[in-house]
Structure 1
């Protein structure tokens, strides 16, 4: 018997009853693993920490899990997870419903700023759609464009056509559905009544009706018995009268001993149901306290059986927990740094707004000082401003609050509230704000130093994990001495992560081993020219507008720069293809463009007299070498050594560096959709598909894709 990998409609009907008990739980965080496993971390008043898993890939399920069974948090939350965190953090779980009798669950979350619905499709390809309270799709794991329905961001979510719900059908309607069939009883229950194969057989068995009976031979007495069995099943589900069972098959390797208690007996889970099934009367069953607990145990054991249980004698250190801890710290530190940056920017903007509204601010301050010298109280001054505001006096309208205890007046300037000290002039107040911004910047510098220390700790933990896994590889693999390994067919691939300094840029290594980096935006273009351009480097740029600054590095920044290095022509041509591929040429659907190359010393940030350079721009002095009609070319691959990671760039460059690659060309699929297609294709290629989930999520794949639409070069769709 093949193990169940997808929940049935009956399972979901029973599941909803138990999930309703979690109403009121608050959401802490959302996580996305790969493109098909969603995790919501919640807090319940009675139960404490609650972990909800939703999986819509090859396995389709939705249930709570024990905290100790939760997978380690992924290092870099993808955009979908960040969107969920922004919408759900602190939200209350308001309930869950099954759509009709379909394999669709709708989770509802409430927060003061609105309602969020997470609609989980546990059929077909599987999907998770996030909508607002009016069912407008915010984002979804898979876009759906069919004649019958559409699920895309910005549109209203469309449910599939309504199916017959056998758990609420009347006796008369039940008879009509059966009469409309032209097959046997069990197939009619499975298709017309939407029970599916297993529960259609169960209904027949409970009703004492022959499964293979032709529908034409079924009379009203047969219908009554079948409907009675269906009704009893429906009552048990509606009232929560479940008695869960986890079914296992036991096999013994000792053929001389038929006992199930043999030391050599092995077990494998095959199904989990909300109540005992007569169809499984001959299968060993284990009871559970709740259906949620049974589901958790079933899928946990199924995963262990499919991946193989770890050997407890290995005493392997828990590197994953240590790495996850450092990643959490880094995430918090990055948030603090971002907060410092925002606070410093806000203070500088306030100072500039004071200068920009000098006359108004000076008028307010002078009015207050004159009133105080005349003996008026702060309350009187506040009242005078309120009167002036009602008469439409501009300076009075700008006053939001007067705090006499602190000698501070709050002004609304350019839509922002600015606290101004009355005893100081406009210049002094602005200077104070600039100084406060500088102090915040110093805090940011301290946080940057701290995050570097944490990153070193993280890299050390990853290095120790990689060394452990390398030592643990089979001897025959270690003795291959450089021979090519068949990574695609390996059942388990050790993870060796590395985050190089250039990872936040666009990058690849040429077929000659030289690093090429390109900016993702104007800020990064500016940074590349100012910070990383050194003697001996080449700078490439497209003639077309909107291309990245592309630098072909002659040396690493940690090495001594040298203008004497002669870069291979093959590397320059690959860098040129990289420059044109990540420009507007690809985005416009064109297949070639012109690129020029210059030496590093020809590039300057100083414009000619009377000229202006916008952010990310640069001036070139001297002759340029042109590469006309350079073809676009992009491939994404998964590298397995020396590190396990996604790489991307010109096909000629990464083909020899990756275990497998997929080429792209300009096409109609949005970047996120194309990344998901690539992810699924990679999972099909690797025997160890869990490896792909760990190192090559759609979000990481998208990191290496050209801007604009794409399609897989070998994909006819």
Structure 2
């Protein structure tokens, strides 16, 4: 039996009840691990330190954990974590709710300066969205641009379409859902009633109803027993009547697992808020716990340990055909969505044109309603008046299909098309609304086009991995090499060893030229000031763009720890790469231009002392003497992953980075925000390495963003 890696809707309903007891806890700090695990460190005044984990990757979970099981804090807090800290530090935990019966949790935090909502999506690809009190998205781990919903920074968060909540469904609605099904009872409970497979089977067992019973053959008594089983489950959840269990398979008596519990205890496979008869039938071992939160902590801790002990699945040939088929299926669905957007937008425009083509008729209908409302006529009276007019053959009345007083709308039918109108507006305003809606739909289409390009790139990456695997089939095992790192195929390794370091210049912009000279640049005025005052030495070269808003760029002749003689000659090739670096990380890129002018001077030509009567801004400097100009220097940046001697992200001019990284991606000025572009690059890197966990650990989107120019970007080959 495969272990559970995602919490169910029933799990989340129970989880919300127990997490509610921590309301009032204060947030100390927030952390982000990789691109899918958020940790909130809090203080509960009665129980002390509280650690909350929210994971939305291959494992999808949300629960508290024991402090001793908390992962070590990342070395550098990424931008998402810093945003959370700025919004949540000192905030009170005001509560958590499950959205309908979906796998979505909404955590609410209150502070004097406002409300912050963290919405955790534990389905599909998973996501964490941070919004303000009005649900405007501040930031999110993944941007979502689908036909049905959009989740992007700056927009209002859109929940998925609501589905039936089986914990609150009435008996009449339950009967309708069951009657509308054309399959058996268990599948109907799993899909129509949204219980999922496990709890659908459990409810059938508790109700004493055959799982495979066809809906057409189900009796009134069958419906009653199933509904009563649902009511009992819902009552236990509302009242917090939990008896949590961790389930595990039986282990071998001689597995040698001494000191880890009974020798017969095998791996964990499930964790539930209640004992399940279905698991008893499968002879799973049940381990009771004091609370569901404690059970979740123990379960996922053991699951992680077991995953570490498993044989790496990349030692076997991946199912490339299944991956390729999956991506092709997604592309087909996305193409259908794009076609749907086009049709919807066109329909909205055609409806707007219909209003203008039948201006007199529509104006007559709207004027009639407005006059009646001005005379305090009720909506029911207005509807009756239109019905009477239709019977008398009045054209305007015949066009009215429905009047909805609760919404203040009237539905008309013109040339076979039904159009909803706001009764208090005129023809022009209603037509403009339809044109605006058409434009909004077309914007969704643009998002879908970007998404389909991502999927096509993912498909190409899988096909490249397949070709590489097949080309290397039969080659010596990675352990049979001669020990020379440079002979390794890092992309194909099932486990890439991590060797990290944080050099002194890591907080600046930096790269090493093709001739191995260090180039550093300031990220802001403070760092520009620091570079000139503290790190500029004899023999160094200084570059700057003619355009305002560029970094002070220094080509170091020697390391600051070494004595500087001033006799080292920096090659022209390194100066040219530094010039490209200077122009790429300046306002030239941000403005969407592809080239700019750069000048270079010796270090002794640079001074922080202005000419008499002049003033230097912070980060500025005075240059005396002749300058060497590099006109029309093209922008150009590549981001890569270096595996030797250190495992890290690097970035800078392509001519320098390509020789130092195992794999690179070139970017150019474009329409994607810096964060979105970084996520696209990250996904490309994950597809290129067999060891995807290695990419998650050392090349998160935030680390990639560290080497990207300010402003919009796109992958150059797109």
Same fold (TM over 0.5): yes
Pairing of 1:226-305 with structure 2 (within 5 A): 226-250=226-250, 252=252, 267-280=266-279, 281-287=281-287, 288-305=289-306
Pairing of 1:207-606 with structure 2 (within 5 A): 207-250=207-250, 252=252, 267-280=266-279, 281-287=281-287, 288-308=289-309, 480-606=483-609
8 Å CA contact retained: 1:252, 1:262 = no
SS of equivalent residue, structure 1 residue 540: strand
Matched, 1:42 2:42: yes
Q: Which residue of 1 aligns with 2:383?
A: none
Match of 1:657 among 657, 660, 678: 660
Q: Which residue of 2 aligns with 1:635?
A: 638
Deviations 1:309-352 (A, max 9, x none): 99xxxxxxxxxxxxxxxxxxxxxxxxxxxxxxxxxxxxxxxxxx
Distance in 1, Cα, partners of 2:277 & 2:492: 41
1:206 positional shift: 2.7
Deviations 1:358-396 (A, max 9, x none): xxxxxxxxxxxxxxxxxxxxxxxxxxxxxxxxxxxxxxx
1:254 positional shift: 7.2
Q: Which residue of 2 aligns with 1:189?
A: 189
Q: Which residue of 2 aligns with 1:315?
A: none
Q: Which residue of 2 aligns with 1:471?
A: none
Deviations 1:525-554 (A, max 9, x none): 233233333333222223333222212222
| CA separation of 1:658 and 1:671: change in aligned 2, threshold 3 A | same
Distance in 1, Cα, partners of 2:149 & 2:261: 54
Deviations 1:277-329 (A, max 9, x none): 2332214233222211111111111111112399xxxxxxxxxxxxxxxxxxx
Matched, 1:707 2:710: yes
1:619 positional shift: 4.2
8 Å CA contact retained: 1:35, 1:676 = no
Q: Which residue of 2 aligns with 1:461?
A: none
Distance in 1, Cα, partners of 2:678 & 2:87: 24
Please identify, of 4-13 and 132-141, the stretch whose mean Cα deviation from structure 2 is larger.
132-141
Q: Which runs of 5+ in 2 are unaligned?
A: 312-477
8 Å CA contact retained: 2:481, 2:488 = no
8 Å CA contact retained: 2:248, 2:265 = no
SS of equivalent residue, structure 1 residue 701: helix
1:708 positional shift: 0.5
| CA separation of 1:186 and 1:605: change in aligned 2, threshold 3 A | same
8 Å CA contact retained: 1:638, 1:661 = yes
Deviations 1:503-544 (A, max 9, x none): 221100012111011111223223323333333322222333
Distance in 1, Cα, partners of 2:611 & 2:124: 61
SS of equivalent residue, structure 1 residue 560: coil
Distance in 2, Cα, partners of 1:122 & 1:95: 18
Q: CA RMSD in A?
A: 3.1
1:688 positional shift: 4.5
Distance in 2, Cα, partners of 1:696 & 1:274: 37
Deviations 1:22-57 (A, max 9, x none): 223232222221222111222224432221111112
1:166 positional shift: 0.5
| CA separation of 1:478 and 1:496: change in aligned 2, threshold 3 A | farther
Distance in 1, Cα, partners of 2:90 & 2:553: 43
1:176 positional shift: 0.9
Q: Which runs of 5+ in 1 are unaligned?
A: 311-474
Please identify, of 145-154 and 666-675, the stretch whose mean Cα deviation from structure 2 is larger.
145-154
| CA separation of 1:662 and 1:285: change in aligned 2, threshold 3 A | farther
8 Å CA contact retained: 2:265, 2:285 = no
Q: Which residue of 1 aligns with 2:3?
A: 3
Q: Which residue of 2 aligns with 1:151?
A: 151
1:9 positional shift: 0.7
SS of equivalent residue, structure 2 residue 295: helix
| CA separation of 1:211 and 1:263: change in aligned 2, threshold 3 A | closer
Distance in 2, Cα, partners of 1:663 & 1:251: 51
SS of equivalent residue, structure 1 residue 118: strand
Distance in 2, Cα, partners of 1:594 & 1:19: 58
| CA separation of 1:681 and 1:88: change in aligned 2, threshold 3 A | same
SS of equivalent residue, structure 1 residue 501: coil
Q: Which residue of 1 aligns with 2:384?
A: none
Distance in 2, Cα, partners of 1:547 & 1:603: 16
SS of equivalent residue, structure 2 residue 487: coil
8 Å CA contact retained: 1:534, 1:561 = yes
Deviations 1:139-184 (A, max 9, x none): 3323334443333334433322221101110110011112222333
Q: Which residue of 2 aligns with 1:198?
A: 198
Deviations 1:256-283 (A, max 9, x none): x9xxx99997832222222222332214
1:480 positional shift: 0.9
Q: Which residue of 2 aligns with 1:54?
A: 54
Distance in 2, Cα, partners of 1:706 & 1:657: 20
Distance in 2, Cα, partners of 1:121 & 1:19: 17
8 Å CA contact retained: 2:485, 2:644 = no
Distance in 1, Cα, partners of 2:148 & 2:106: 20
Deviations 1:646-694 (A, max 9, x none): 2211222122323333322222221122223333443444454444444
Q: Which residue of 2 aligns with 1:397?
A: none
Distance in 2, Cα, partners of 1:512 & 1:253: 62
1:611 positional shift: 5.3
Distance in 2, Cα, partners of 1:118 & 1:9: 18
